[in-house]
Amino acid sequence: MTLLTHLFGKLANAAALLLAVLVLNFCLIHLAPGDPVQVIAGEMGGASAEVIAELRAKYGLDQSLLTQLFTYLGKVLHGDFGYSYYFNQPVLQLIGQRLPASLYLALSSLFAAVAIGTLLGVISARRPNGLLSHGVTVLSLAGYAAPVFWTGLMLLLLFGSVWPVLPVSGMADVVNPKFGFAYVADVLTHLVLPSLTLALVFLAQYSRLARVNMIDVLSADYVRTARAKGLPESVVIFKHALRNALIPIVTVVGLQFGNLFAGAVLVETVFSWPGMGRLVFDSILRRDYPTLMAVLFFSAVMVIAANIITDLVYRLIDPRIRAGAR
């Protein structure tokens, strides 16, 4: 019951936060320079004053900002996020088409970064002054310092020109479409470079964090006791030490989920990956207010959900942590 009470409290806070996100996104986007009606008119090759007035009335842009806000909030409460100015389809349908691609990219990058980064950190922590440990440190500094778009461009040049063994654009082969297992393999092949680009930045952080925490944990009394009992080194490392060293890593994973999405915007643009990041980029250029507000809202939902899940995962890693006591 304590966990359920804590979870309900988290969900109530999340609902209030999402309402604030909706209002803030609406105000900031509508107060930003630019006019979506003028953009639509430009796409049409120009329009008369009467047509522009009709477009403003059609999308409710002829009303006051406060009226537009309350109208928008009322529609969102009924699950209606509006109609895209540029893509000419319901925003929810548009996000439903793009969300899976973004989840494939984000989750594969996150899994690779956490798994490989933690493993490198654990290996290097066993010999802090060894060659491998210094190599992990150099990798961490280089990976963290390199901008994600620069890394993407370098990989694009390498595998698109110098060593063209991997696809560098899109999510699947549109010239020779595949089906069944061949399609899955094709998508995974296209996923390699975008996922690697995004993972390299976070891999550097997790490897460094895992190394520092493992060095600290390995000097603890309970680890020395486990070794004194004659337990195998693998049991000491992965059962006793790593479990406690994972807590700061899980914290960082939850806090950096928003940064992961921000990096995905750049990666999807570089590799023409058809996800929500690319949708944000296109929506900003076209002043597509409904699409942009909905994407930002669902991004906030994913970040808040990641933080709630992180909070609950603490109990699985260390049962001593009581979520209801915090």
Q: Please give the full DSSP string across 133-176, using - where no structure is assigned.
A: HHHHHHHHHHHHHS-HHHHHHHHHHIIIIIS--S--SSSS-SSS
Across 180-188, average pLDDT = 87
| 78-83: long-range pairs with CB below 8 Å, 24+ | 81/290, 81/293, 81/294, 81/297, 82/290, 82/293, 82/294, 83/59, 83/290
Across 91-118, average pLDDT = 87
What pLDDT does 43 receive? 66
Do residues 204 and 148 touch, judged by C-beta distance below 8 A? no
Alpha-carbon Rg of the chain, whole angstroms? 24
Burial bucket for residue 96 (CB in 10 Å: 0-12, 13-18, 19+): exposed
Is it the case that residue 324 has pLDDT exceeding 80?
Answer: no
- Reported as a single tens digit per residue, the pLDDT across 111-153 is 888 888 888 888 888 777 778 777 777 877 777 777 888 888 8
Is it the case that residue 77 has pLDDT exceeding 80?
Answer: yes
Q: How far apart are CA 102 and CA 99, in angstroms?
A: 5
The conformation of residue 233, written as its DSSP 8-state character, comes to: H
Do residues 42 and 36 touch, judged by C-beta distance below 8 A? no
Cα–Cα–Cα angle for 114, 99, 273, rounded to 5 degrees: 75
pTM: 0.76
Is it the case that residue 321 has pLDDT exceeding 70?
Answer: no
What pLDDT does 218 receive? 81
9-13, 181-185, 282-286, 312-316: least confidently modelled range? 312-316
| 275-283: long-range pairs with CB below 8 Å, 24+ | 275/98, 275/99, 275/101, 275/102, 275/104, 275/105, 276/95, 276/98, 276/99, 276/101, 276/102, 277/102, 278/98, 279/94, 279/95, 279/98, 282/86, 283/86
Task: Name the token pair of 13.
Answer: 């806070």
Task: Name the token pair of 212.
Answer: 């520092």
CA 145 to chain centre: 19
Length of the chain: 326
Per-residue confidence band for 323, with pLDDT thresholds at 50, 70 and 90: very low
